[in-house]
Amino acid sequence: MMRLRRLSHSYGDEPVVDDVSLSVDQGEVVGIIGPSGVGKTTLLRVLSLFLEPDAGSVELDGDAVWDADEDERLALRRQVGMVFQDASLFDATVARNVEYGLRVRQGWDERLREQLRSLVGSTATPDAVTDALEIVGLNGKLDQHARSLSGGEAQRVSFARALAYEPDYLLLDEPTSDLDPRNTGLIEEAIGEARDRGIGVVVATHDMHQAERVADRVGVLLGDGFTEIGPTETIFENPTDERTRKFISGELVY
Ligand SMILES: Nc1ncnc2c1ncn2[C@@H]1O[C@H](COP(=O)(O)OP(=O)(O)OP(=O)(O)O)[C@@H](O)[C@H]1O
Ligand SMILES: [Mg+2]
């Protein structure tokens, strides 16, 4: 389980999130919804263990990340994958981009190290790469250059790269903004597949309907914290907090 306890963070004097707690289990999808600028990306950056919060703790399977020494923290960080809003692919083929997800693991996973060693001098594509691309429906484009992909395809390759990394937790920041319904649907299916593989997924999105479709639990971020976190159905059909209700019904924009 990944757990945030009483997190607060400011940029300069401006508090973004204040006293926020959240837990994410492996094998569940947690949606974070809230208006632009409320702190969704900030929360994901803290969960990705790259941004040290001003206050509060982040725990991964019981280990407090910021109390750990640097080596331990690096090992903990390797359990978490993040897909940023801009796909940021390398100037290389689709297969190479996804393979990078494997390579960053090779230092600590003997099985993958073996798999990669056996690939030296060969042009074969590792199973984990074709498998991840299969999930996002792009197995036919292994050798296409990433620069020539459509925006939706690039997003899906970026998602496949994170899957190939085999994280315990996967953080997705607006994974389908600017995508058409077909690409959106493919990414949403891949989110379900990640969950079925036992990955704990966090999806930050300002598309509340997406959260309703993909999440098991939803946190509503308004002001400087969650007004409510609960099962998706409760949040959308029977919220207890008045501001949550207004936000869900579109009355409250911020
Ligand atoms: N590095 C930074 N320095 C200063 N202010 C920042 C920094 N990063 C974010 N902020 C501010 O913190 C607030 C929260 O930003 P954040 O990106 O977390 O919001 P968000 O909910 O992800 O918004 P969006 O839906 O538009 O992506 C914003 O007001 C933003 O301007
Ligand atoms: Mg954001």
pLDDT mean by block of 10 residues, the chain; 254 residues? 96 91 98 94 93 95 92 89 85 91 64 61 74 93 94 92 91 91 94 96 94 98 95 97 93 71
What is the C-alpha separation between 210 and 141, in angstroms, rounded? 27
What is the C-alpha separation between 227 and 12, in angstroms, rounded? 24
Length of the chain: 254
* Confidence (pTM): 0.91
Question: Residues with Cβ < 8 Å from 229, sequence gap 6 or more?
Answer: 22, 217, 218, 219, 220, 235
The pLDDT value recorded for residue 112 is 60
Residues 145 and 93 sit within 8 Å (Cβ to Cβ): yes
The pLDDT value recorded for residue 240 is 95
Token pair listed for 3: 């757990």
The pLDDT value recorded for residue 75 is 87
What is the C-alpha separation between 95 and 90, in angstroms, rounded? 11
The pLDDT value recorded for residue 126 is 81
- What interhelical angle do 151-164 and 127-135 show, nearest 10? 130
For residue 223 and ligand 1, the question of a CB distance below 6 A is answered with no
Residues 157 and 97 sit within 8 Å (Cβ to Cβ): yes
The pLDDT value recorded for residue 55 is 96
The pLDDT value recorded for residue 103 is 76
What is the C-alpha separation between 103 and 109, in angstroms, rounded? 10
Residues 33 and 220 sit within 8 Å (Cβ to Cβ): yes
Paired with 8 in beta bridges are: 55
Ligand 1 closest atom vs CA 12: 4
The pLDDT value recorded for residue 188 is 96
Query: Ligand 1, atom 26: nearest CA belongs to which residue?
Result: 36
The pLDDT value recorded for residue 102 is 78
For residue 78 and ligand 1, the question of a CB distance below 6 A is answered with no
The pLDDT value recorded for residue 106 is 59
The pLDDT value recorded for residue 85 is 80
What is the C-alpha separation between 190 and 197, in angstroms, rounded? 11
Q: Choose which residue among 41, 48, 172 to substitute to test ligand 1 binding: the one with the highest number of ligand atoms within 8 A of its C-beta.
A: 41
What is the C-alpha separation between 201 and 218, in angstroms, rounded? 12
Burial status of residue 68 (CB atoms within 10 A of its CB: 0-12, 13-18, 19 or more): middle
Q: Choose which residue among 7, 18, 32, 38 to substitute to test ligand 1 binding: the one with the highest number of ligand atoms within 8 A of its C-beta.
A: 38
For residue 39 and ligand 1, the question of a CB distance below 6 A is answered with yes
- What residue type is assigned to position 193 of the chain? E
What is the C-alpha separation between 138 and 141, in angstroms, rounded? 6
